[in-house]
Structure formats: structure tokens, C-alpha cells
Structure 1
Amino acid sequence: MDNGKIPAIAIIGPTAVGKTDFSLPLAAALGAEVISVDSRQVYRYLDVGTDKAPREVRRKIIHHLIDVVDPDQVYSAADFAADALNAARRIAARGRVPLLIGGTPFYYRALEGMLSESLPKDEEVRSELGREIRERGLAALHDELAAVDPQAGAKIHPNDPVRTMRALEIFRITGKSASWWYGRQNKMESPWDILYIGLTRERAALYENIARRVKEQFASGYPEEVEWLLGNGYSPELPALQGFGYRELVEYLGGKCTLAEAIEGDIRSTKAFSRRQMTWFRHFEPAIWYDFGETPKEKAVEDVLPRCLSHLGRAQ
């Protein structure tokens, strides 16, 4: 049924579950182009650590919203929502299918209209918060957030400077917490009609994948990537370099830990991130879930293809 919305398929699930490998045969069968839903892959030069699809894959299947901005540029969830919608409209106009792939739940919520542009912004307040992070540390600001906005403090990870600063920015400008404002805003009408395909694995198997991938990244130029970024003037305090893996390597290159400690720290942080992802993704709907411990990838693709075609309004 044509409801004026853009029909799309989304592949969701925790990091290292196998979203990219699953997506390739599905994209080929659907005639799809990929829109990356990853808050780290938008940055240029952050390649190894963000596990971007190899260039040979991107030559076969067009990928959008990878390498959008430099590491020292601000790129918000609202920016992503606008860019993703523009990409989807261009894809649909060419008779292709938008295939959303990625593990950033907040970006998906932005697509669905869960964000509002009406809340105020103030560059002076943001600059002051940045100065306070440098002088007092991110932990102190997160503690402040937890005191003035317990709900946001519980939801926002202590190592997330972007969302911590934004929540405090709203509070300092308005005198009301971000949670207070978001709770009183109506959800915007979403221009998307998304069918979610959720992928999961038994936790022990997922953790094995995470550990293996992190070690492969560290052996494939990850330390050199971060060294290059720092050597070219990108501050270690940038949000792009505060994510897991990058922050551990910044500490290693600064002589604050060993390489082995950086690897273990990255593995530990990535496991914690995967748990937070699943907490979010369990609430996404409509969704079709596949456990790769029970259903092989090939069988899952075969099973879900007619459901995708039905959602897209195409005859099989």
C-alpha cells in the first residue's frame, strides 16, 4: 500500500554479529544500495577501527553515508537523519531499494522521528562544556548530568562526550532537563516504512567474534591509523577519537598502557557496547529475528527474502 512513505529494509544487531556478510546476498537479490547507519563510519580516515566494508565490496554494492565528514567536524543524529532521507529518495528514484545497515540505535531513532530540532543550541555553552571536559574530565560532567537529569545519566554511557554535552547544554540553556523536554514532545511523523531484520548470536559466540575481530584490527594497522590521525593534528579529545578502541590506542600511544592492555580494553568496551545495542534493538518493530546459532546465514537470507519483497510491494 502506498502511504507516501519510503519503504526500506534495515539489518540490525550487535557489533560483530555478521550484519555485513548477511547483507551482501540480500542486497544483490533485492537490487539494493546500502545506507550505513553507523555513527563512526561517517568519519573519514577512521577505517580499520570502524570496520568499514572493504572497498571491493563497495565497488559491487553502492554504499552511502560512509566518509561523510572529517574527524574534527560535528555530525549529529539529526544531520544523519536528513542525509539518510536524501540518499533514500535518490535510491528509490532510480528504482533501487534502500537497505539500512548498522548498529547505532540512536541513528535509527532519529530516522523514525524520535529527535526534535526544536530544542535550543548555543555554541558558547557547547564551547564551555568542551573546556570543562578538558579541565575537569568527562567523568565529572557525566556525574553532573546524573545529578540534574538522572534519567539521561542512566541512559548515556559515561564515555559518550557528545550526548553528555548535549544533555547538559539543554539543561544549562533552559533550566529543564533533556529528559523533561523529550518526554513532552510529540514524536514527529516518520517518512520511512522500515522492516527490521534482527540478527543475534548466543552471547559466548558473539564475544568470541568480538575478541577475534579486535585482534585482527590491531594486527591490520589499527595502531598506525590512530598514530596517523594524531600526527596530522586531530585532537585525542575529539568525539571521533573517544570511542572504544580509539581511546585505548590514544592511551597506548601516549605511554599510559601497553598494547596488550589496549587490546583487552577495546574487547571489554566492545562487549559492553554489544549489550547496550541489544537493549535498544529488542524494542524495534516490526522486526524479524534470526539467531545465527540456530539458523545458518544462507537459510536466513532465503527465508527473509520473500518477506522483504512483500514489505516493498514487489511480487516474488
Structure 2
Amino acid sequence: MKRIIIICGPTGVGKTPLAVRVAQKFNGEIVGADSMQIYRHLNIGTAKPDPEEMDLVRHHLIDCIDPKDEFDAGRYVKLADKAIQDITSRGKIPIITGGTGLYIKALLNGLFRSESICTETLSRLALELKEKGVHALYEKLSECDPKAADRIHPNDSFRVIRAIEVFQTTGNRISDYQKRHSFHDHRYESLKIGLYLEREKLYDRINQRVDMMMNKGLLNEVLSMVENGYSFNLKSMQSIGYKHMAMFIQKKIDLPEAINLLKRDTRRYAKRQFTWFNKDKDIAWYNPLEINGIEKLIKDFLT
């Protein structure tokens, strides 16, 4: 079984600098596990590794998908498996780095795939999508399977329709299927390292990072995306940071309010990430400054 190192934790905690250091010290390459950094052009708002960090260590699954394309955990696993095979074939260590917990869990355990597909139901729901829009279908999903609705983005029409189709075809909720079957035996031998900071310190870093993003030109990045034909309705453009700038561009709120909402929503996102990862009892938690302890743990894992 292939061995991989996982570096996870909430946004803004310092995963990228640690991953680069670990990759350099232990002959590794980084595989991104971030649902937004995977997209091209979305650079500032997703806090992608800077060019210097990218030059120091080879990165995979960052900046490789067009923002107009649909992307999910299943597709991520296929690409990550391919990257891991490539890295290990060259005698290097894959270092999975990111804050998208579902991607990491799917990579380690696989995902449930229901074989029950009713084309008639799908066609009817597709027509309903065209006539009423995705938000009407999302409300329907919230009624029949609220747990699935909590996990699916309101603009992700493919997954919304799929979840409704499973319920209408089988009478069972897709969330129940996933609870019973979605995660299986480990697909890789892994060492999981989680990074944490005291809440106030993390929130201060998040606020400062948002200010830095604005200074780097986040607003201009979003304007450029729109000028190049990327709609505000795209799933990728509904992510944190981009949707806030979109609200300002569309004159729904002023810029100071957009920035304050961006800081608030990023803090809330960090809290949700920590809650997700904290459920995993296999994660060894470290402050990012505890370099010696982290490196000893990795050395023991690899020997």
C-alpha cells in the first residue's frame, strides 16, 4: 500500500509553508486538496501558493481546471490517484495538502456510487431546472433530504438533481446511502497532520489575509474573470471571496461591507473546517511552529 502524508487544517493556519518545507526535507511533492485552488485564474481569493513556493517544490492539482467546469470529490480522487502514482513511481513521497475535508476523506476511503439512475426522472428534473431554476430544486431537496442539502452547494445543479433523483426513484435519501456505504477501507497508508492555532490568533490572521488579498487586487481579479466570460452564477465564482466581490460589483453592497462579510464568512468557514477535521481521531494535531515534533513524526512514519 502506498504511503502518503496529509497536512490539513483550517484556512489561514499555515499549511502551505509547512508542506513546502516537509516536501523539501523528505523528498516529496505536493498534491493539493482544495476545492477552489484546483481552478485556473482564481489565484488571489483562493490563496494559492505563490510562484516562489511553486518553484521550490512540484505541485499537483492546483491551477488545472477551468472555472466553468464542474468538479467534485469523485473527479478529485481520480486525478489525485494519478498524481500519487506518478509521484511514487519516481521514488518520492506524496504530500496531500489542503482544507477540503471531503476530498481527503474520499481519497482515503472512496465514495459511494449508487447504480440506481432513472433517466425518465432525470429528464423531468432537468426540464424543471430549465423552467424554475436551481434554487427551486434546491428547496425541494431541502424538504426531502435536508442532510444532503447541507452538504451540496445551492448552485450545484448536477448534485442537487442527482440527490432528488435518488429519493424519488428509490424512496431513500442519498444521505442515508452515503452514511451506510460511502466510506470504506483505507486506500492508502497515511500519516495525518493537522495544524491548529488559538482561535483569536487564527481569526486575526484571517482578517489580515483578507486585507492582503484586497491589496493584491482581489477585486480586479474578479472583474477580469467577468470580462473573460465567467458568470457570477458559476459554482467556482460562488466561493468565498469571489461572491463577496460579485455582490459589490453588482451594487448590492458597498466595498467595506463586502470586505467585512468576507472576513466573517472566512472565519466561519475555518470553524467548520476545524469541526470536520476534529472528528478524525487519526489526526495528530500540531501548532505550525512545532517543526521538530512534526518532522520527527514524519521520519518515524517513513522508516
Same fold judged by TM-score > 0.5? yes
Q: Is the 8 A contact 2:155 2:234 kept in 1?
A: no
Provide the rounded CA distance (Å) in 1 between the counterparts of 2:218 and 2:56: 25
Relative to 1, partners in 2 of residues 1:221 and 1:145: Cα closer, same or farther, differing over 3 Å?
A: same
Q: Which residue of 1 aligns with 2:297?
A: 307
Mapping of 1:97-108 within 5 angstroms? 97-108=93-104
Compute the RMSD of aligned alpha carbons. Answer: 2.3
Output one character per residue of 1:50-97: Cα deviation in whole Å (capped at 9) or x when no partner: 110011211110000012210111111111011111111111111111
3-state SS of 1:179 partner? helix
Tell me by how many angstroms 1:173 deviates. 4.7
TM-score normalised to structure 1 length: 0.86
Q: Which residue of 1 aligns with 2:206?
A: 210
Mapping of 1:120-135 within 5 angstroms? 124=123, 127-128=126-127, 131=130, 135=132
Structure 2 residue 210 is matched with structure 1 residue 220:
no
Q: Is the 8 A contact 2:193 2:284 kept in 1?
A: yes
3-state SS of 1:184 partner? helix
Output one character per residue of 1:178-236: Cα deviation in whole Å (capped at 9) or x when no partner: 11222332634332111111111111111111111111111111111111111111111
Provide the rounded CA distance (Å) in 2 between the counterparts of 1:271 and 1:126: 36
Tell me by how many angstroms 1:142 deviates. 4.2
Quick one: percent identity of the two aligned structures?
32
Tell me by how many angstroms 1:125 deviates. 6.3
Tell me by how many angstroms 1:151 deviates. 2.7
More displaced, 187-196 or 97-106?
187-196
3-state SS of 1:279 partner? helix
Relative to 1, partners in 2 of residues 1:239 and 1:110: Cα closer, same or farther, differing over 3 Å?
A: same
More displaced, 283-292 or 257-266?
283-292
Q: Is the 8 A contact 1:125 1:169 kept in 2?
A: no
Structure 2 residue 147 is matched with structure 1 residue 151:
yes
Q: Which residue of 1 aligns with 2:50?
A: 54
3-state SS of 1:44 partner? coil
Provide the rounded CA distance (Å) in 2 between the counterparts of 1:89 and 1:175: 39
Relative to 1, partners in 2 of residues 1:158 and 1:66: Cα closer, same or farther, differing over 3 Å?
A: closer
Provide the rounded CA distance (Å) in 1 between the counterparts of 2:39 and 2:124: 25
Q: Is the 8 A contact 1:196 1:284 kept in 2?
A: no
Count of residues in correspondence between the two structures: 299
Q: Which residue of 2 aligns with 1:253?
A: 249
Relative to 1, partners in 2 of residues 1:287 and 1:92: Cα closer, same or farther, differing over 3 Å?
A: same
Tell me by how many angstroms 1:137 deviates. 6.3
Q: Which residue of 2 aligns with 1:31?
A: 27
Q: Is the 8 A contact 2:106 2:183 kept in 1?
A: no
Q: Which residue of 2 aligns with 1:242?
A: 238
Output one character per residue of 1:262-292: Cα deviation in whole Å (capped at 9) or x when no partner: 1111111111111110111012242211135
Provide the rounded CA distance (Å) in 1 between the counterparts of 2:128 and 2:58: 38
Provide the rounded CA distance (Å) in 2 between the counterparts of 1:196 and 1:107: 14
TM-score normalised to structure 2 length: 0.90
Q: Tell me, which stretches of 5 or more residues in structure 1 are unaligned?
A: none
Q: Tell me, which stretches of 5 or more residues in structure 2 are unaligned?
A: none
Structure 2 residue 185 is matched with structure 1 residue 189:
yes
Q: Is the 8 A contact 1:113 1:187 kept in 2?
A: yes
